[in-house]
Homo-oligomer: A and B are copies of this chain.
Amino acid sequence: MSYTLREIVARLGGEAVGDSARPLKGVATLDSAGPEDLAFLTNPRYRSKLAGTRAGAVILGPGDRDAATIPCIVSDNPYAYYARAVALFNPEIAARPGVHPSAVIEAGAVVDPGAEVGPHAVIGAEARIGAGARIGAGSIVGERATIGAHTRLYAGVTIYHGCSVGERCVLHSGAVIGSDGFGMAREGGRWIKIPQVGAVRIGDDVEIGANTCVDRGALDDTIIEDGVKIDNLVQIAHNCVIGAHTVIAGCAGISGSVTIGRNCMLGGGMATVGHISVCDNVAISAYTLVTKSITKPGTYTAGMPFMPHAQWLKNAVHLRHLDRIARRVREEESPGEDRERNDD
């Protein structure tokens, strides 16, 4: 598949500068690109690579147009343009309608004729698979669960009974949607299970990574709003609400009954305690444990700097007795200082 600069711009917008008749066959990094590749400059740190690239053309922003000595596409949002260019050169393979002979479709399940159900998949009783959806090999859609149009489950995805997934979603292998929230009550020295009778509701254009878990609610549902993007090995506990267009990086863990606002960015390995809320437009740094609600947009961080082990040994011991150090530096507690310490 091959496009000229002109043909690309006709489809994706932007401004072609230089020889726009050159045929291009794919996207590559500035370092790896050859004369038939379209490269991209989206990080100023790499501007120096423009000089040496062998790329046939490069996507860049208005501020870099004068630096290019090869044909280029000028875009106000070069990174998004790069995303669309990769999609242009690597079109999604459409669903191949039909149900594999080895798949099991249980009584009352409705599979759209335009959907694709792969080998060894199981579609549970009264489940619904929408138009153009693709259910990968070995994936399991539980009773009464619904999968929206053009949603793709890769191989080995599990959707528990009664859950719903919207349109144009992508769920990667090993994702588990609708397992029981972790609910139990103490009685007589044992834990008794609290049955989890809510479900999971996932909106449109959501992406969920490999081996990520989203638990069903205890009574009400766990909700993932439109446009949310979740990476691999993430835990979303029961009765969370994840706001639209929020992204959650790998290995994060959101405890029960937490509400995350819209357009948040939750860093890798971050976590929250339960029953708090985070407002819109909050970024949480990697590996940060959020222990109370956040009401102001901004970036929040916790964490220790890493250092050579010998240096850490010398320093960490004092972490046990900061109170003693603090007392020595402060002759008396002033009310003003107490107030300051509490406002966070």
Residues of A near any B CB (own CB < 8 A): 27-29, 32, 77, 79-80, 82-84, 86-87, 90, 92, 100, 102, 104, 118-120, 122, 136-138, 140, 142, 154-156, 158, 160, 170, 172-174, 176, 179-180, 182-187, 189-195, 197, 205, 207, 209-211, 213, 215, 218-220, 227, 229, 231-233, 235, 237, 245, 247, 249-251, 253, 255, 263, 268-269, 271, 273, 284-291, 298-309, 311-323, 325-326, 328-330, 340-341, 344
Contact = CB atoms under 8 A, between A and B. Distances in A.
A302 B309 contact: no
A170 to B, nearest CB: 7
A307 B325 contact: no
B249 A182 contact: yes
Contacts of A215: 210, 232
Given A184-B83, A193-B170, A298 B291 contact: no
A14 B185 CA distance: 16
B156 A158 contact: yes
Contacts of A213: 174, 209-211, 232-233, 250
A312 B302 contact: yes
Contact of A315 (B185, B229, B249, B322): B322
Contacts of A180: 170, 172, 207, 209
Contacts of A210: 158, 176, 179, 213, 215
A189 B245 contact: yes
Contact of A173 (B176, B249, B284, B289): B176
Instruction: Count this chain's copies in the assembly.
Output: 3
Contacts of A158: 154-156, 173-174, 210
B271 A269 contact: yes
Given A138-B140, A174-B174, A176-B173, A320 B311 contact: yes
A13 to B, nearest CB: 11
A29 B220 contact: yes
Contact of A82 (B27, B185, B211): B185
Given A32-B219, A269-B271, A273-B286, 4 more contacts: A176-B211, A235-B251, A318-B325, A320-B341
A253 B229 contact: no
Nearest to A218: B86
Given A80-B186, A235-B232, A320-B307, A253 B271 contact: no
A321 B315 contact: yes
A184 B140 CA distance: 27
A263 B188 CA distance: 12
Given A191-B245, A319-B315, A305 B291 contact: yes
Contact of A305 (B83, B197, B306, B316): B316
Contacts of A302: 303-307, 312
A250 to B, nearest CB: 4
Given A302-B307, A306-B290, A341 B317 contact: yes
Given A28-B219, A321-B341, A301 B306 contact: yes
Contacts of A83: 183-185, 187, 192-195
